[in-house]
Structure 1
Amino acid sequence: MMKSKGSLLILIGCLPLAVMSLTCYTCMFPAISPLDCLKFPQECPVGQRCLASTAVGVKGSVSIVLYERSCALPSQCDQHGEKHAAGIKFNYTNECCDTDLCNTAAPISSPRWTGAVLSLCSLVLLLQLG
């Protein structure tokens, strides 16, 4: 009896592990709000990762930020470069992650930056009123 249990454990250990696919948020350029991407979760093909890409373009005195969230091949991860859209050159950065819906809409640092901006705006308003 003990011998058959040992053989069963060895057999189970030799089985290939099930490969699971990820679910990632998706939206493609030119999404101008990172929140647009939360509406479209998608199951990715096996072997792909979740991508979060941000591109910044400048035309005159206007700065434009575009967001892309999607499934990506590992070769697309941790890349940066240029994309061209509507006659504007955008510098982009790709970041990938490996858990379901990990390519969230807003960067982790956004709440601190937003808080700082709101605090500064409040201070300016108080100075103007006082």
Structure 2
Amino acid sequence: MNSKGSFLILIGCCLPLAALSLTCYTCMFPAISPLDCLKFPQECPTGQRCLASTAVGVKGSVHIVLYERSCALPSQCDLSGEKHAAGISFNYTNECCDTDLCNAAATISSPCWTGAVLSLCSLAFLLQLG
């Protein structure tokens, strides 16, 4: 076999390894609806998927939606359940995808900026109580 053929075999063997890791968006911190988080591309460890998580919390008349983006182990994908933070119960849903930057979009539940400001103020108030 000539050196050109050896080089092509070497390249062919290495390409599948490079394709195993994804680039996903990650949030510096979770965001409150209708604002999306500040997303940054991050290379995930091999075998991880892109995660988009939404958590909805209600305390009295306050309704809060949090968005988070990150890399995730497959065991964290397609889950839903309940988390507790600052005295609020949040129902969360984790959804995963397998292409670069596929976890970009947040589902915006309310286009009203007034609702976002009220949610931020309410969350700050609840954090002070908790």
For 2:90, the equivalent position in structure 1 comes to 90
In the aligned structure 1, how far is the partner of 2:83 from the partner of 2:29? Answer: 10
For 1:70, the equivalent position in structure 2 comes to 70
Deviation at residue 27 of structure 1 after TM alignment: 1.4
Aligned pairs, number = 105
For 2:118, the equivalent position in structure 1 comes to none
Deviation at residue 105 of structure 1 after TM alignment: 2.9
For 1:123, the equivalent position in structure 2 comes to none
Contact residue 37 and residue 68 of structure 2 kept, 8 A: no
SS at match of 1:75: helix
What RMSD in Å do the two structures reach over aligned CA positions? Answer: 3.0
Percent of paired sites with the same residue: 74
For 1:35, the equivalent position in structure 2 comes to 36
In the aligned structure 2, how far is the partner of 1:37 from the partner of 1:99? Answer: 20
Q: TM-score, normalised by structure 2?
A: 0.66
In the aligned structure 1, how far is the partner of 2:51 from the partner of 2:59? Answer: 26
Matched, 1:105 2:105: yes
Gaps of 5+ in 2: 113-130
The structure number with the bigger radius of gyration is 1
SS at match of 1:93: strand
2:37 is matched by which residue type in structure 1? D
For 1:49, the equivalent position in structure 2 comes to 49
SS at match of 1:84: strand
In the aligned structure 2, how far is the partner of 1:28 from the partner of 1:52? Answer: 14
